[in-house]
Amino acid sequence: MFRLIAAIGMVATVAAVLGHFVLFGPKRLKDPKQARKVKRFGIWERLVHSITVLSFLGLACTGFYSVLVLGSPLHGWWWLLHVAAVPVFTAALTVMALTWAKDGMFVPLDWDWALRLGGYLWFGKHAPAGRFNAGQKAYLWAAAFLGAVVLISGLGRIFPVFDAEGQDLVYQVHRYAALLFVLAGITHLYLGTIANPGTLGAMMFGKVSRMWAEEHHPQWWETIKDSHKSKK
Ligand code: HEM
């Protein structure tokens, strides 16, 4: 049953984001060619984010390869690879959450972003946002929460402490939390790439154009624009 739910969930999420892309297209900037001069992420933030993503992919691929392709419980080399990625993922996700905790705090204007659904539908195109928008903040905390759930439930499978029924519950929690994490990850990937041109570059090179900053994160741009006046 989980195999079917996982397959349907993944196909439906990919279809939903591609459907959104076809219907609404990307959030294009007025001048997409403007040079990247505004620093968005330092090397530390990019490194921690990259390690989190790579170790997450390692866990998701080994876990779901077993479920979707092999159709059997995680075992052998796949189990070993899965468990080997755990310390890296746990450390990277923890450091990432701590690094961005301050920027991830919700503030009153996030309500406005949420009510406009970030400007991703037909209305409220210009949603306000600080360094992170309300969706990014929600994703940061959801990732921290789901990370804790998969860690505790995964450890609960490695070191069983309950009876058979309890262990099965732990197993179900692990696989469904992991599935939710992957579906949220697919949406995050869509929003950070083709839905918002210029955003992937922020994570790769650490810099964005002024227009990107002004249009996507206007309240953040307000706080840093003075330091960019001299660098025309
Ligand atoms: C971070 C700590 C994690 C630990 C300690 C952990 C540990 C484990 C263990 C021990 C199993 C084997 C369960 C069993 O058959 O008894 C397992 C299975 C699995 N894990 Fe993880 N895991 C972690 C994170 C993740 C993440 C982040 C994902 C994906 C997003 C994931 C996806 C899966 C999947 C899909 C399975 C197979 C479930 C099934 O057979 O239906 N795990 N994990």
- The pTM for the full model equals 0.94
**pLDDT digit string, tens, across residues 210-228:** 999 999 999 999 999 888 7
Tell me, using a 6 A CB cutoff, whether residue 177 lines ligand 1: no
Where residue 124 falls among pLDDT bands split at 50, 70, 90?
Answer: low
pLDDT band at 69 (very low <50, low <70, confident <90, very high): very high
Q: Is the pLDDT of residue 232 over 60?
A: no
pLDDT for 39 beyond 60 = yes
* 76 CB near ligand 1 (under 6 Å): no
Q: Is the CB of 129 under 6 A from ligand 1?
A: no
Query: Average pLDDT for residues 65-78, to the nearest whole number?
Result: 93
Q: Give the model's pLDDT for residue 122.
A: 77
Name the burial class of residue 69, with classes exposed (0-12), middle (13-18) and buried (19+) by CB atoms within 10 angstroms of its CB. Answer: exposed
Q: How much distance in Å is there from the Cα of 181 to the middle of ligand 1?
A: 12
Answer yes or no: is pLDDT of 133 > 70: yes
User: pLDDT tens digits, residue range 14-35?
Assistant: 999 999 999 998 988 877 777 8
Query: pLDDT tens, 143-199?
Result: 999 999 999 999 999 999 999 999 999 999 999 999 999 999 999 999 999 999 989
pLDDT grade, residue 37 (50/70/90)? Answer: confident
CA torsion, points 172, 176, 181, 183, in degrees to nearest 10? 160
Alpha carbon of 60 to ligand 1 centroid (Å): 8
Q: The domain 34-228 is classified under which CATH number: 3.40.50.300, 2.40.50.100, 3.90.1300.10, 1.20.950.20?
A: 1.20.950.20
Q: Check pocket membership of 73 for ligand 1, CB cut-off 6 A.
A: yes
Nearest CA among 85, 124, 118, 82 for reference residue 190:
118
If you average pLDDT over residues 43-59, what whole number do you get? 97
Ligand 1 pocket test: which of 82, 146, 172 has the largest number of ligand atoms within 8 Å of its C-beta? 82
Is 174's C-beta closer than 6 angstroms to any atom of ligand 1? yes
Per residue in 200-211, pLDDT (tens digit) is 999 999 999 999
User: How far apart, in whole angstroms, are the C-alpha atoms of residue 78 and residue 121?
Assistant: 41
Residue 230: pLDDT band with limits 50, 70, 90? low
Quick check: CB of 67 below 6 Å from ligand 1?
yes
Point out the ligand 1 atom lying closest to the alpha carbon of residue 146: 27
Distance 81 CA to ligand 1 centre (A): 11
pLDDT in tens, 85-97: 999 999 999 999 9
Ligand 1 centroid–CA 204 distance in Å is 29
Percent over 90 (pLDDT), the chain: 84
CA–centroid distance, 59 to ligand 1, in Å, is 7
Q: To test the ligand 1 pocket, which listed residue (174, 187, 188, 189) has its Cβ within 8 A of the most ligand atoms?
A: 174
Query: Please, are residues 228 and 38 in contact by the beta-carbon 8 Å criterion?
Result: yes
Quickly state the pLDDT bin for 46 (edges 50, 70, 90).
Answer: very high
Q: Taking the alpha carbons of 49, 204, 189, 113 in that order, is the dihedral positive or negative? A: positive
